[in-house]
């Protein structure tokens, strides 16, 4: 995973949290997985590799209710 992939994880995690607001990670994860598979730039960066970073940035983003 390179710096561009990490940046994409950051943006995706933060924007997803802002968009989904109070929806829990557990409820959001299937939707986020599907979105990642469409959004990722490098097909080699599977969700299982990206998910920990996306989740970290999701947790750091403020909730918008």
- On whether the CB atoms of residues 19 and 62 are closer than 8 A, the answer is no
Residue of 2, 5, 27, 44 whose CA lies nearest to 57: 5
CA distance 15 to 64: 10
**Cα distance between the two ends of the chain:** 32
Residue 62 gets which letter from DSSP? P
pTM of the model: 0.89
Domain boundaries along the sequence of the chain: 3-10+22-60
- On whether the CB atoms of residues 15 and 62 are closer than 8 A, the answer is no
Residue-wise pLDDT tens digits, 3-54: 999 999 999 999 999 998 889 999 999 999 999 999 888 888 999 999 999 9
């Amino acid at each position: 995973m390179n710096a561009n992939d990490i940046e994409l994880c950051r943006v995706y995690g933060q924007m997803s949290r802002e968009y989904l607001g109070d929806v829990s990670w557990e409820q959001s994860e299937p939707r986020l997985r599907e979105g990642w598979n469409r959004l990722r730039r490098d097909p080699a960066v599977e969700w299982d590799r990206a998910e920990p970073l996306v989740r970290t940035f999701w947790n750091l983003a403020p909730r918008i209710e």
